[in-house]
Amino acid sequence: MEIDNALNPEVIDTAAFPEADTITPLSFGRGLWMGIQFLLIQMLALLPVAILGIIVYGMDNQEGMNNLIMFLGLPLAFIAGAWYFYKQSGLIDTAFEWKSNFPLLIIIGLFLMYGINYIVGELMTYLPGYDAMLAMYQEMFAGMNPMALLLGGALIGPICEEIIFRGVILEGLAKKYDPTKALIFSALIFGLVHLQPLQVIGAFFAGLILGWIYLKTQSLWVVIALHIINNFIAFTFSDLGTESTRELIGNDLLYVGSFALSAAIAYAAYLAFNKFNKTEASVTEYA
C-alpha cells in the first residue's frame, strides 16, 4: 500500500490541527526506547500483582496466577503505560473525534485486515519450527479464564496499545520521517515489543495496517475498534487444533486460490477505504 505524499507533514494544513506542532518528533531509536520503556512499565506494574498471586495461590497454582495477571495485572500495566506516554507526549486534537463514516470504515478495515492476516498467517506456517512456535503461543493462554483473557487481552490492551503505538509513537515518528518510513518504523517497534516469535511477525503486519489507517483518519477510534475485534477473534480461536488451512481445504488448487481471493479482498478494501475516507477534518487526500 502506497502512502500518499499528502501525508507529508510539509503539506498538512496545521490550521485545522492547532496542536499538531506540539507533538515531539521521534527518531527510530527514541521510538524503540519508548517501546522498551513500555515493557519495563508493564514489568513494574505486574510485580505487585505477581506477589499478590503468590500470597493467594502459592507457587504451584500456575493457572490461578495466570488468570490473576491477565484479569488484574495486564489491565493495570496497559493503563499505566498508556497514561505515562499520554502525559509525556499528548495526542493530536483529532485523536478521539468520532465521525459518521467511522462505522463503515471499521467494516472495510476488517476486510483489509482479514485479507492480509490470512496471507501472512498462512505464509508463517512454512517457517522453520512453526509448530513449536504455535504451541508456545497457545500455551501462553491455555487454561485462562475467558473473561479475564478478553478483558485484558481483547479490550483494555488494544485501547492502550493504540494510544501508545499509533497515537504517540507513530505520530512522533511522522513528525521526523516521511510517512512510509514512519509507518514501517512504528510497525517494527510494535512487533518487537510482543517478544513471542509468531506475535512479532503478526504484530508487525498488524502495525502496518493499523498505522496506515491511523494516518488516513487521524483518529484512534477506527484502529481501536479493529484492534479489539482482531484480538477478540484471535483469543476466541487460540485453543483450536493445529490442523493447517491447507489440510482443511484439502485441494492444492483451491488453497492457492484462497491466497488470490484474500489478496483481492484486501485490495478491494484498500480502494474502498480510500473512497469512503472522506472526513472534514482529515489531513489526507488521496488520488
Residue 282 belongs to some domain of the structure: no
Compute the average pLDDT of residues 237-242.
58
Residue 284 belongs to some domain of the structure: no
Residue 285 belongs to some domain of the structure: no
For 187, other C-beta atoms within 10 Å of its C-beta total: 22
Residue 283 belongs to some domain of the structure: no
Report the distance separating Cα 58 and Cα 147, nearest Å.
22
Enumerate the H helices of the chain as residue ranges: 28-57, 62-68, 74-89, 102-124, 130-141, 146-151, 157-161, 171-174, 179-192, 197-217, 221-236, 245-249, 252-276
Residue 287 belongs to some domain of the structure: no
Query: What digits encode the pLDDT tens for the residues 45-81?
Result: 999 998 888 888 887 787 788 888 888 899 999 999 9
For the chain, the domain total comes to 1
Greater confidence (98 vs 137) lies with 98
Greater confidence (63 vs 16) lies with 63
**Which pLDDT does position 202 carry in this prediction?**
93
Report the distance separating Cα 200 and Cα 41, nearest Å.
19
Residue 122 belongs to some domain of the structure: yes
**Which pLDDT does position 242 carry in this prediction?**
52
Residue 286 belongs to some domain of the structure: no
74 CB-near residues (< 8 Å, 6+ apart): 42, 46, 152, 153, 156, 157
**Which pLDDT does position 20 carry in this prediction?**
44
> Which segment of 22-26, 91-95, 133-137 scores lowest on mean pLDDT?
133-137
Compute the average pLDDT of residues 120-144.
83
Does pLDDT of 275 surpass 50? yes
**Which pLDDT does position 102 carry in this prediction?**
96
Q: How does the average pLDDT of the chain come out, rounded?
A: 85
Query: What digits encode the pLDDT tens for the residues 174-188?
Result: 999 999 999 999 999
Polymer length in residues for the chain: 287
Grouping H, G, I as helix, E, B as strand and the rest as coil, residue 226 is helix
Residue 76 belongs to some domain of the structure: yes
pLDDT-based confidence at 40, cuts 50/70/90? very high
What's the domain range around 56?
5-276
